[in-house]
Amino acid sequence: MHNAVWITIFLVVVLFLNIVAVEIFGEAEFWFASIKFLTIMGLIILGFVIMLGGSPNDQGRLGFRYWKNPGAFKPYIVGGSAGNFLAYWTAFVRAGFAFIVSPELIALSAGETIAPRRNIPKAAGRFVYRLAVFYGFGSFIIGVIVPSDDPRLLSPSSNATASPFVIGIQRAGIAGLQHVINAAVLTSAWSAGNAFLFSGSRVLYGMALNKEAPKFFAKTTKNGVPWTAVLATWAVGFLAYLNVSSSGAQVFTWFSNISTISGFIAWIVVMITYLRFRRAMEFNNMLSELPYRTKFQPYMTYFTLFIVSLLTLTNGFQVFTKSRWNVADFLAAYITLPIFLALYLGHKIYFKTPLFIHTQHIDVMSGKREMDELCKHDISGAPVPKNMLQRIWFWIA
């Protein structure tokens, strides 16, 4: 099927799920997440089976065979330990694309969540463990069932046949399972589109309410869905049609890189905002009133701020190495930085607002009374599991 057909189907589905009602969005995300959860857990379990010698072919017990030959690390740009580190750092930067919007989506959905003071801490607290299981074990399994020199890993095609899970399964002699993974990839793509459209439209809607964007984007339906912001954000998805041509696919790769760095910059802003917010809460003796507080703060935020800032500044280091200079790649890696600074400083200059607000002037009270009133009506409490299966499912969901 032509790529344009799939792109159109994706765009129409995510628009429908976001424009009709937020309840449909939440229900769809639940089922999409359930499919992703069952798929990744099944692949992790299958990967351990293959690793321990349970595959139908004669490759035997894999163990850590591929970590020895061709090796756990594949040097990048240069050889030796320096090449291994550069390979790791490149993977570290590019993995950020998979995380963009994932953590902040929890906070963005707080305004449309039932019992936010009960459910948001629950979702935020379990997010780290889900990352450790899904991303950590997923990456581990890929590393033990697929050698780094398998030619299919470098396939120019963008379909699921190039998925390392599919490659590992095919190497083990298991037939037919790639179709299941194809279906899971499709639902995951829809889920990602759902999350991005939801978060992007709510940010635009919030900016319109704060008079930082045209008032037109603050219009809502009778169900409270910001339809103008949804349509404006959704329209950016037309850039996906760049994948119709081979040259357009390269441009699409640049956009992917730009979106990753934009996400890093957003995280930097979020962390600086949190540090300022925390100081204001301490100044007003209100820190203990927060319904959810993470451990090792603010030190963990300072450490993460340093790491993400370093990733942002070094994400395009390849273009500075010998014979790898490319203007297009350089712009894709760093054009977001001057654009952000121009928008931020331009806003400050135009509206004549200070770069930073003094701690004693930071508003930490707006909305608190309304939220207190809202939470008084949360009398149902958290659902009580009736059996072990429900206990496990409630923890996952």
Range from 177-191, 221-235, 291-305 carrying the lowest mean pLDDT: 177-191
Structural domain includes residue 395: no
What is the share, in percent, of the chain residues with pLDDT greater than 90?
14
Q: Is residue 49 part of a domain?
A: yes
Read off the pLDDT of each residue in 349-354 and give the average, rounded to a whole number: 86
The distance of Cα 289 from the centroid of its chain, to the nearest Å, equals 29
Q: Is 389 part of any domain?
A: no
Domain assignment present for residue 356? The answer is yes
pLDDT digits (tens, 9 = 90+) for 98-144: 777 667 777 776 666 677 777 777 777 777 777 788 888 888 998 89
Pair of tokens at residue 87: 């390979």
Q: What is the 8-class DSSP label of residue 384?
A: P
pLDDT over threshold 90, residue 304: yes
> Structural domain of residue 337, as residue ranges?
245-362
Residue where one domain finishes, among candidates 197, 225, 244: 244
Q: What is d(CA 155, CA 219) in angstroms, rounded to the nearest whole number?
A: 45
- Look at residue 306 in the predicted model and tell me its pLDDT: 96
Q: Burial of 22 by CB count in 10 Å (0-12 exposed, 13-18 middle, 19+ buried)? A: buried
Q: Which of 203, 221, 244 is the last residue of a domain?
A: 244
Check residue 379 and give left, alpha or beta (phi > 0: left; psi -120 to 50: alpha).
alpha
Whether residues 236 and 275 share a domain: the answer is no
CB-based contacts of 396, cutoff 8 Å, min separation 6: 37
What are the DSSP calls for 132-184, one per residue? IIIIIIHHHHHHHHS-TT-GGGG-S--SGGG-HHHHHHHHTT--SHHHHHHHH
> Does residue 129 sit in the same domain as residue 158?
yes
CB 249 within 8 A of CB 255: no
Spatial contact of 96 and 307, defined as CB atoms under 8 Å apart: no
Specify the higher pLDDT residue, 379 or 59. 59
- Contact by Cβ (8 Å): 318, 324: yes
Give the pLDDT score at 248: 63
- Taking the C-alpha atoms of residue 267 and residue 96, their distance in angstroms, rounded to an integer, is 11
Do 219 and 286 have their domain in common?
Answer: no
Q: Among 2-16, 48-62, 103-117, 160-174, which is the least confidently predicted range?
A: 103-117
| Average pLDDT of span 326-342 | 89
- Which of 244, 276, 298 is the last residue before a domain boundary? 244
Which is more confidently placed, 45 or 173?
A: 45
The predicted structure's pLDDT at residue 119: 75
| Angle subtended by helix axes 227-235 and 3-19, to nearest 10 | 160
Is there a single domain that holds both residue 59 and residue 129? yes
d(CA 291, CA 35): 31
Closest by CA to 116, choosing from 384, 370, 389, 396, is 370
Domain count, the chain: 2
Please tell me the distance from the alpha carbon of residue 282 to that of residue 278, in angstroms, as a whole number.
6
Do 2 and 100 sit in the same domain of this protein? yes
Q: Give domain status of residue 348, yes or no.
A: yes
Residue 52 has pLDDT above 60, yes or no: yes
Contacts of 202 (CB under 8 A, 6+ apart): 108, 109, 111, 226, 229
**Same domain, residue pair 223 and 345:** no
**Do both 229 and 258 map to the same domain?**
no
CA distances from 326 to 242, 314, 332 (A): 21, 15, 10
pTM summary value: 0.78
Q: How open is the CA angle 96-102-105, to the nearest 5 degrees?
A: 145
For residues 25 and 194, is the Cβ–Cβ distance under 8 A? yes
pLDDT higher than threshold 50 for residue 29: yes
Q: Are residues 198 and 90 in the same domain?
A: yes
| 367 within some domain | no
* pLDDT confidence tier of residue 158, bands split at 50, 70 and 90: very low
Report the SS3 class of residue 366. Answer: coil
**Does a structural domain hold residue 394?**
no
The answer to whether position 396 is within a domain reads no
Q: What is the pLDDT of residues 261-290, one digit of tens each?
A: 888 998 999 999 999 999 999 998 888 888
**pLDDT at residue 95 greater than cutoff 60:** yes
94 Cβ partners below 8 Å, 6+ apart? 260
Closest CA to 212 of 197, 225, 229, 195: 229
297, 351: one domain: yes
- Answer whether residue 307 shows pLDDT above 90: yes
Same domain for 196 and 266, yes or no, is no
pLDDT at 160: 46
pLDDT attached to residue 235? 93
> Is residue 294 scored above 80 in pLDDT?
yes
User: Do 322 and 280 sit in the same domain of this protein?
Assistant: yes
Tell me what pLDDT residue 257 has: 80
Peptide bond into 70 cis (omega under 30): yes
Q: Shortest CA distance to 366 belongs to which of 292, 277, 298?
A: 277
321 and 310 both lie in a single domain: yes
